[in-house]
Amino acid sequence: MRSFAKVAAYLAAALVAYGAALALGAIVGRSADPAPVMAFARAIVGVRPHLAWDFTLIGRPEVLAPLGIALVVAAFVFRAWSGRIAFSLLSLLASWRLDAFLQHLCKRPRRTDWVLHHETSFSYPSSHAAIACGFYLLWAYLIARSNLPTAARVVLPGLLVLLWVAILWSRLALGAHYPSDLLGGTFVGLAALFALAAAVETIKVVGATSRRA
């Protein structure tokens, strides 16, 4: 019963997170971000644009594809980590696809005050924010909960959290997104994580039931 409760809790969390993304999408479709929030966002535009682009690249296929291949190889070398690696790659894909679906549903245009690189896809929610949460922030959690040496479990998650913040900052510094896009993308990343956790827990329950039978 406890396992079924976990499945239900994960599913509920996934639905709440994705529902929040949908609700925020409906709000931004009717009205702009609050003026103080946009004033802050505009103040960031153009700050260290080349550094911002470097951090933006970390959430793009140019970096994610080779990183994914490296993780697949690592899964065969470090078998104890294979489950966590598989989960992180599935979360990456789920975050990306869920975000793409919602982008085409909301159809929010991009900002016009962009710098360095003009992105023409829809703006809400931010796929970078979804991936930063559903992949990089997930790895911070996985490492923190692992049996690695204490120093690694403290330093590496801290660096990954800073990377998460830097990726979000980069989207504002390049004028690529509204702040609400980043919040919506974070909701999407959380929805992907919880939905996958529910799926994994369901598989465990079914497996345990089959063995008892």
SS3 label, residue 111: coil
pLDDT at 202: 86
**Nearest CA among 124, 101, 99, 103 for reference residue 179:** 124
Give the best-scoring range by mean pLDDT among 30-39, 84-93, 200-209. Answer: 84-93
Residue 23 CA: distances (Å) to CA of 125, 160, 183:
12, 29, 12
- Assign 206 a pLDDT band (cuts: 50, 70, 90): low
Does position 47 have pLDDT exceeding 90, yes or no?
A: yes
SS3 of 139-208: the string is: HHHHHHCCCCCHHHHHHHHHHHHHHHHHHHHHHHHCCCCCHHHHHHHHHHHHHHHHHHHHHHHHHHHHHH
Residue 52, amino acid: A
pLDDT tens for each residue of 60-107: 999 999 999 999 999 999 999 999 999 999 999 999 999 999 999 999
User: Once rounded to an integer, what is the mean pLDDT over residues 33-37?
Assistant: 94
pLDDT for position 207 = 59
Would you say residue 208 has pLDDT above 60? no
Is 211's pLDDT higher than 60? no
Report the percentage of the chain scoring pLDDT > 70.
Answer: 95
Name the least confident of 127-131, 156-160, 162-166, 198-202.
Answer: 198-202
Is pLDDT at 29 greater than 90 in this prediction?
A: no
Q: Report the mean per-residue pLDDT for the chain.
A: 93
Q: Provide CB contacts within 8 A for 129, sequence distance 6+.
A: 167, 168, 171, 177, 181, 182, 183, 184, 185, 186, 188, 189
pLDDT at 173 over 90: yes
Distances (CA, A) of 190 to 10, 106, 148, 162: 10, 19, 25, 18
pLDDT at 188 over 90: yes
The pLDDT value recorded for residue 4 is: 79
Q: pLDDT grade, residue 5 (50/70/90)?
A: confident
Query: Could you give the CA distance from residue 101 to residue 96 in angstroms, rounded to a whole number?
Result: 9
Peptide bond into 125 cis (omega under 30): yes
User: Mapped to the 3 state alphabet, what secondary structure does 63-97 carry?
Assistant: HHHHHHHHHHHHHHHCHHHHHHHHHHHHHHHHHHH
Q: Which two tokens stand for residue 205?
A: 């329950």
